[in-house]
Amino acid sequence: MKKAKKKSTVGRIVKKTLGIGALAYAGLFCVFYFDLDGKLLYYVVEPFMKNHFDNMERRDPHTVPYEQIDTEYMQ
Amino acid sequence: MVLSTELLGLKNAFAERQEKKAKKAAAAGKPKYPNPAFWRCKDNMDFKAQGKNLMEVGKIIVEMTKEADIKAFCAKQVERCRDDLARCALEIKQATEMSPAELKEVFLYGEKTLGKLYRKGDMVPVRREWRGAADTAYDFYRWGKMWLMLLTTFSRDLIPALNSTFYYRWMISYFCCVGFMDKNTMGQKGSALKMSHLMTYDIFRYVAENLVFLAKCDKKNGNSVALNKKVVLFDEMTMGQIMAGFPDLLGIPYQLMPVFLVSEIDQLTCVPYIDAVESFGLPADTCPVPSSECGALVIDALPHMGSCFISSSMPCDGSTMASSYMSRRFPDLPVYHLTFPVRYEYEETTQDAVQDIKGCIKFVEEVTGAKWSWDAYFKQMKRFNEETAYELQKWEVNKTDYPQIIGPSYELFRKWNYEMDGGADPRVIPTFKKVNDLMMRAYERREEAWRNKMRYRGIVWSCPAHYYANFSNWLANCWGIDILVEMESLNFTKVLETEDKEEALMDLARLYERMVMRRHTNGGYHNVVDEMWRQVEDWRAEIIIMYQNVACKNMATLQGILDDTCRDRNHHMIWIEHDLMDPRTVSRKTMRDKVNEYMRTVMHAEPVDPTLCDFDDELGM
């Protein structure tokens, strides 16, 4: 009796694991086949990052004197 | 405040264990690469400054959310989804109209037309290619493996790597490297696909590891003082073999990641660099490689790092411009100018080059305190010789009627292995072995690199457009022109000396003098013209794809001679104009149109895949 119960529990776990594995596989395959990774990067991440880079405060090289060699310039 | 290996106690213990293992492996003759000590170097991040950066990022997110037209964004996504669904429905309809035999053919061997994967104005394809059941499954496996490798490598020092992503515009282009892999393998199946994936993986692993090292060393990010002491930077166009004698130092081709390689992944990366340096008055017809390098310095796109910098006049004197900009931007970095004689075929000049190498070794020893090790040098060169032997085997197979290992992945691998790796990474040898086995088996089975598509044998001459690194892939898929070899692959293949020290330095000098591009564009016109015809005969090429970049003065001076000799021989030569790293001057579409026109009007040929003759990828990565 105990053995059968144990067997059924093991079977359930195996089935569940296989099911989850199959779902994960199918999901990942969809991401791969429809290039969802590329689409996420291009449609969402890239516009945000572009905006971020455009708005970042950066050293303006046009204002740096030609001869200037100091620590501030090197940062 | 420091948040790094010492703060993350667990990670530190793990790194120590790893290092012990690595020492054991090294003692057993199987050294770990890269040296685990490099990963273990502690970071010295200025978290106050990083906090400020994060605040800035937060502010931008808030502003973006306020300013963004969410409705328009969602509408656009819905429109794209609808278009995707309509395409899916169309493809299902087409499948239902197929006969069972046709359907079986597509299911097992993949789709035949690839133009439908592109959509106007999009950076990414509509979906990935269906290569047939087995090959799509393999492609999927390699895709997963690549992402896993990228994520695990970045997590080895995540915080500086993430900071770099928020600081450097070019870092974001590397996110799309998997898409670049797709572009390079488009249309490939079977052994060709497997070989391309194996080679690309090694390149990307090298890139990912070096990106983390850049982030760790950069004074604006990881600021690892310990690692910076071990880092020797060299110009991206200088070969890495000289570092073989310094196993405890880390040699990094400085501009490779922020400029050179990324411009092959993302065609738009170098545009801001070129604009920046031209706004200082640099003429627009200067070679885009040093122009971009200088522009990257102007807009602060290069990390501030390393103990010294080895500059060079390679492959041509354009590089010296970037070297002087580099010295001006980072005056705290000692620079050694490694400048080899141009007339390299005169053996008496080799002694000059050897003196230059000796000077460079002495310079590195003085700056870093490291000592040159002949044992380490010979060990790496033995590995490099083995790799060269594998390379020559590829050439032999490609010269036959059944070329196997062709296309952009192979070209990229060859250049990277010859110039950047140079036998340093022992993990590359198994790749060579696997690729060689696959190639020989495919050759025995008489496979085609692009199945049922091969029409013409082609060769590429002159320097190629970075922003169209997969041009040879398009040539194969659209017109059946299989590029057997490119000029930049045909470099020094002599077995390097691994016993006599003086002779070894002579060989090293010869190797450097005949590096990628320099081998042909320097040292006299016969290296370009006569050598091209010799190679055309050797590889039995029917079509020459002749790149023409107005900024490449060495090649531009020979245009007339190349034309004349081609007329004399009545050979097919297609001139493809481009601007190396600036796709605004000559777009990818214009490059394709040149081939389309020639094939239709001169060759009277029909395209293998007509859907690829005209498509839009102006914005595409």
3-state secondary structure B310-365: EEECCCCCHHHHHHHHHHHHCCCCCEEEECCCCCCCCHHHHHHHHHHHHHHHHHHH
Test A75 with B304 for CB contact under 8 angstroms. yes
Cβ-nearest to A59 among B165, B179, B300: B300
The predicted structure's pLDDT at residue B191: 95
Cβ-nearest to A74 among B80, B178, B332: B332
Residue B313: closest CA among B331, B337, B289: B337
Q: Does A64 touch chain B (CB under 8 A)?
A: no
Q: Does A72 touch chain B (CB under 8 A)?
A: no
| The residue to which tokens 């122009």 are assigned | B291
β-bridge mates for residue B336, sequence order: B310
Q: What is the DSSP letter of B456?
A: E
The predicted structure's pLDDT at residue A74: 45
Q: Can you say whether residue B281 is alpha, beta or left, with left for phi > 0 and alpha for psi between -120 and 50 degrees?
A: left
Query: How close A17 gets to chain B, by Cα (Å)?
Result: 20
Q: What is the pLDDT of residues B51-102, one digit of tens each?
A: 877 787 787 778 777 777 788 888 888 888 888 889 889 988 988 999 999 9
Question: Side chain identity at B579, as an amino acid letter?
Answer: D
Residues from chain A that touch B166, judged by Cβ atoms under 8 A, are 52
Question: Which pairs with CB-CB distance under 8 Å and at least 24 residues apart come from B5-12?
Answer: B5/B40, B5/B41, B5/B42, B5/B43, B5/B157, B6/B42, B12/B40
Query: How close B307 gets to chain A, by Cα (Å)?
Result: 14
Residue B273: closest CA among A41, A61, A68, A48: A61
| The residue to which tokens 């354009």 are assigned | B318
Both tokens assigned to B466: 């970075």
Residue B152, C-beta contacts closer than 8 angstroms, at least 6 positions apart: none
Mean pLDDT of B520-539: 91
Query: How close B451 gets to chain A, by Cα (Å)?
Result: 21
Residues from chain B that touch A39, judged by Cβ atoms under 8 A, are 124
Q: What is the pLDDT of residues B410-431, one digit of tens each?
A: 999 999 999 999 999 999 999 9
Q: What is the pLDDT of residues B189-217, one digit of tens each?
A: 999 999 999 999 999 999 999 999 999 99
Higher per-residue confidence, B73 vs B355? B355
Residues from chain A that touch B169, judged by Cβ atoms under 8 A, are 49, 53
Residues from chain B that touch A53, judged by Cβ atoms under 8 A, are 169, 172
Q: What is the pTM for the complete model shown? A: 0.91
Test B64 with A49 for CB contact under 8 angstroms. no
Residue B467, C-beta contacts closer than 8 angstroms, at least 6 positions apart: B263, B264, B267, B268, B270, B578, B580, B581, B582, B583, B588
- The domain limits of chain A are 2-57
Q: What is the DSSP letter of B155?
A: G
Mean pLDDT of chain A: 80
Higher per-residue confidence, B393 vs B521? B393
Both tokens assigned to B65: 């959310």
Mean pLDDT of B291-309: 91
Interface residues from chain B to A (CB-CB < 8 Å) = 56-57, 60-61, 63-64, 77, 80, 84, 122-128, 136, 139-140, 143-144, 147, 165-167, 169, 172, 175-176, 178-179, 182, 219-220, 276, 279-280, 298-300, 304, 330-332, 621
Residue B281: closest CA among A5, A61, A16: A61
Residue B246: closest CA among B419, B365, B383, B367: B365
Mean pLDDT of B261-278: 91
- The domain limits of chain B are 69-102, 131-612
Test B56 with A57 for CB contact under 8 angstroms. yes
Mean pLDDT of chain B: 89
Burial of residue B567, with CB atoms counted within 10 A of its CB: 0-12 exposed, 13-18 middle, 19 or more buried: exposed
Are the C-beta atoms of B231 and B37 separated by less than 8 Å? no
Nearest-Å Rg of the Cα atoms of chain B is 25
β-bridge mates for residue B511, sequence order: none
The predicted structure's pLDDT at residue B189: 93
Query: Taking the alpha carbons of B512, B515, B519, B524 in that order, is the dihedral positive or negative?
Result: negative
Mean pLDDT of B564-574: 94
Residue B319, C-beta contacts closer than 8 angstroms, at least 6 positions apart: B235, B237, B289, B290, B311, B312, B313
Test A38 with B219 for CB contact under 8 angstroms. no
Mean pLDDT of B98-112: 92
